[in-house]
Structure 1
């Protein structure tokens, strides 16, 4: 299937031209308005210490970003082509195994997803065992009809299991157990874990299996994602901007055979590893320990669980930048603010819960560059808020012109940020600049809140949530202490900003 021509009603890749022009006009109007206000408002004195501090943070942040840029470019245009050419000369796997959970996906989504998958398996010409995890009877008919066509081309075994509504990770663990107990797998079998709203492009199986067959110390690979979004223009561009950032960082990290996540949308694993009892158990029963909550069972973030297992077992991982799955993103209904915060709560909660234990592996086991990136994740959520906090504090003393100057700083630095990302990803839109700032500011607030409330977990589609597990400590203490910690942390940040200004 040519995914570039894929059309699904109400799902869109790009804005219509008139919407893009509207965003350009909005951005230009914003700049002119800020410039006019800056000229009109009276001058205010700014202490040199403030400029030096903001400059130091800026140099650090954008120096780090530049390192990622050059690493990513080197990986994409020098290292990866060599790795890919060698992978193309290897043999095919003896078997492809696929696990694909479908939770209440509509037929308009399920049909192209399974058609693309079946076409790809048939074209690859390798025996296949697949487990489809469904919730609706309508999905069963679509899946069975597609796999019946495949049986005429390659040996195929299809299993269909029901999802019980307890979460994606339990269903995936059941599917892996079923495959493991069905019959043993050979060492050169490949397992695909993918979502039921992910469309696979032509040549994907040959590409990912080639890497796993050629490089025997490689445990898993993941690919680029391109979203087709059901939602308004702002939500659509937010998804695109996030995927461009993902491509930017994953390319950089892959230079040292590490990634930040083995994305649940589509990742390929060495089957002998992924069907081991330890892997399945780590997926089903994954948890983190917290001094206040005790053992926190991981409900969401199955892709972080699989990533952590591969990382701690010292398998290498790779990012495939020239192959992209198409993700049919049906964003939660509601305003952009509510939708984005809901999604960030899930994403960043998973990140923070997995981040600390990956750091605890140490730089030798996790890899030095990845380990530094994990530390940076914990630091950046605080440093991001210094700029706006300082601007608001100084504006309260000296007047609103400080805020105007800060907004110019934001536009300049985030434009540079977006430019660095677009150089590598090839994606740009004028709204990326304010969206990046929005995600950094609101994302930092969400991260800090979740840092002190690690038990909060929400699955936006399945409406699964968890806010309290361990009852060994007084419920009231557990309920109020995180709020006190959060308040104390923000108070400390404010005091730091006040001391910074003198």
Structure 2
């Protein structure tokens, strides 16, 4: 409470430094920032309203309708769990597989679990736990089948493709479900019963769920993740209102089993790529969740979201410092997003719906509208009037505090006082990282897994492509700055 009081006092102090005559002197800057602000806040307000409508009105009706249809089915779904485990602590692996075995035991039709592992120690941990939970013995685990696929560490995409081919041999039907689970994510015990009914609608190809996170010994990093998941809850709910979410997270997503085992689906996961006019063929190393999403989206399937089903991920801060860890993760996340963004936009509004199409397009537009404000204020402070800075800071503190309060309603209300700062950091730093990744789609790296080779001297062609990326990025930022100074009247 004291922190919130201090925050509001600082906000009031900054606002007191500015009066109406000062704002009049900043006329063009205020008008342009106001116009962009109205656009961005209207977009945020629209998504918030759609999210509330989905959670409180549309989703309960969808769930009731799906459960009635599922209860009327003569046969229930058989769940297939596909779990990828690599370089994860044994205590985490034990906890994750315990939840998976419990969820499998609760399935009325049994379950098939395919565990893709690299380390022999993981094989022993998983097998021992399976036996300890009663696997293969009379009781709840009697009809649970465990397949451990030990593979070479050639990458997550190869691991997923191998597991999907193993599951395809079981000939799953359209009523069965295939659950993708990361090796650090715990699933709810009633996962099968909560997700299988949605596939009674033949238009639904996949769904994803809410997420929570557990992070030890890194409170700021944990708060940043919690805030991101609050934002994710709102945006996922908004997109699900129209029937198509913008990602199928790799931590936990559920697919119609006969779709996820098709040869073309497996090929897209294993060997996804884009052809770029400057960078040539860019093969995807990371971002398997974007590949699965695009395969279904391009074929017209619905992709929905369950806001009341939650997985729990056990994350660690990948690097010693908060900022370097956040930047490392954002480079991977936003690189994955932008590599798929162009081809998703190319599908067009008629094929995927106008709101979905515009949301995908806005992933690029929002880079520059987000960076416009701080750039314009910084230049105005230097060249026009220093009062622009406290006025802008007061406005940022007010709007981010209000938005955090609204977001917190999706988690029961209340938020730490550092959320507004983390929100603004995520917006500005995220936009900067997106602008960097936009011109370097060929650069990919895992944060935990060793997904790239040791750095070596690059051939001339790769050095020239890297130089062209830097040139295009700098040129774009230069023209962006020229646009800012013209629109704000500085020039």
Q: Distance in 1 between matches of 2:43 and 2:222?
A: 28
Instruction: Confirm or deny: 8 A CA contact 1:99 1:175 kept in the other structure.
Output: yes
Instruction: Confirm or deny: 8 A CA contact 1:72 1:424 kept in the other structure.
Output: no
2:231 aligned residue (226, 245, 256): 245
1:196 aligned residue (167, 178, 183): 183
Alignment of 1:372-383 (within 5 A): 372-383=358-369
Q: Distance in 2 between matches of 1:320 and 1:45?
A: 48
Q: Which runs of 5+ in 2 are unaligned?
A: none
Correspondence for 1:453: 440
Alignment of 1:90-101 (within 5 A): 90=70, 91=73, 93-101=76-84
Correspondence for 2:161: 173
Q: Distance in 2 between matches of 1:82 and 1:466?
A: 50
Count of residues in Structure 1 that have an aligned counterpart in Structure 2:
477
Correspondence for 1:151: 136
Correspondence for 1:72: 51
Instruction: Confirm or deny: 8 A CA contact 1:262 1:303 kept in the other structure.
Output: yes
Judge which range, 234-243 or 197-206, deviates more.
Answer: 197-206
1:467 CA displacement: 11
Instruction: Confirm or deny: 8 A CA contact 1:130 1:158 kept in the other structure.
Output: yes
Correspondence for 2:289: 303
- Tell me, yes or no, if structure 1 residue 217 matches structure 2 residue 203: yes
**Closer, same or farther in 2 for the Cα pair 1:371/1:205, shift >3 Å?**
same
1:419 CA displacement: 2.9
Correspondence for 2:393: 407
- Tell me, yes or no, if structure 1 residue 275 matches structure 2 residue 261: yes
Give the CA RMSD over aligned residues.
2.4
Alignment of 1:109-124 (within 5 A): 109-124=92-107
Correspondence for 2:272: 286
Correspondence for 1:488: 475
1:112 CA displacement: 1.4
1:424 aligned residue (403, 406, 410): 410
**Closer, same or farther in 2 for the Cα pair 1:396/1:467, shift >3 Å?**
farther
- Tell me, yes or no, if structure 1 residue 27 matches structure 2 residue 11: no
Q: Distance in 2 between matches of 1:24 and 1:131?
A: 48
1:124 CA displacement: 2.1
1:466 CA displacement: 7.5
Q: Distance in 2 between matches of 1:466 and 1:374?
A: 32
Aligned to 2:207, the other structure's residue is in SS state strand
The normalised TM-score by structure 1 is: 0.90
| Cα deviations by residue, 1:385-443 (Å, 9 ceiling, x for unpaired) | 11111111111124543212111111122223223322334353221111111011111
Instruction: Confirm or deny: 8 A CA contact 1:113 1:199 kept in the other structure.
Output: yes
1:163 CA displacement: 3.8
1:147 CA displacement: 2.6
Aligned to 2:247, the other structure's residue is in SS state coil
Instruction: Confirm or deny: 8 A CA contact 1:187 1:272 kept in the other structure.
Output: yes
Judge which range, 246-255 or 230-239, deviates more.
Answer: 230-239
| Cα deviations by residue, 1:320-365 (Å, 9 ceiling, x for unpaired) | 0111111111120211110000000000000001111100011121
1:25 CA displacement: 6.6
Correspondence for 2:370: 384
**Closer, same or farther in 2 for the Cα pair 1:23/1:288, shift >3 Å?**
farther
1:48 CA displacement: 1.8
| Cα deviations by residue, 1:259-287 (Å, 9 ceiling, x for unpaired) | 01011010110110100101000000011
Q: Distance in 2 between matches of 1:130 and 1:224?
A: 22
Q: Distance in 1 between matches of 2:90 and 2:367?
A: 40
Q: Distance in 2 between matches of 1:350 and 1:253?
A: 19
Instruction: Confirm or deny: 8 A CA contact 1:27 1:431 kept in the other structure.
Output: no
Correspondence for 2:124: 141
- Tell me, yes or no, if structure 1 residue 329 matches structure 2 residue 334: no
**Closer, same or farther in 2 for the Cα pair 1:28/1:163, shift >3 Å?**
farther
**Closer, same or farther in 2 for the Cα pair 1:60/1:410, shift >3 Å?**
same
Correspondence for 1:53: 32
Aligned to 2:320, the other structure's residue is in SS state coil
**Closer, same or farther in 2 for the Cα pair 1:180/1:211, shift >3 Å?**
same
1:26 CA displacement: 6.3
Q: Distance in 1 between matches of 2:47 and 2:234?
A: 7
- Tell me, yes or no, if structure 1 residue 474 matches structure 2 residue 461: yes
Instruction: Confirm or deny: 8 A CA contact 1:121 1:128 kept in the other structure.
Output: yes
Instruction: Confirm or deny: 8 A CA contact 1:222 1:318 kept in the other structure.
Output: yes
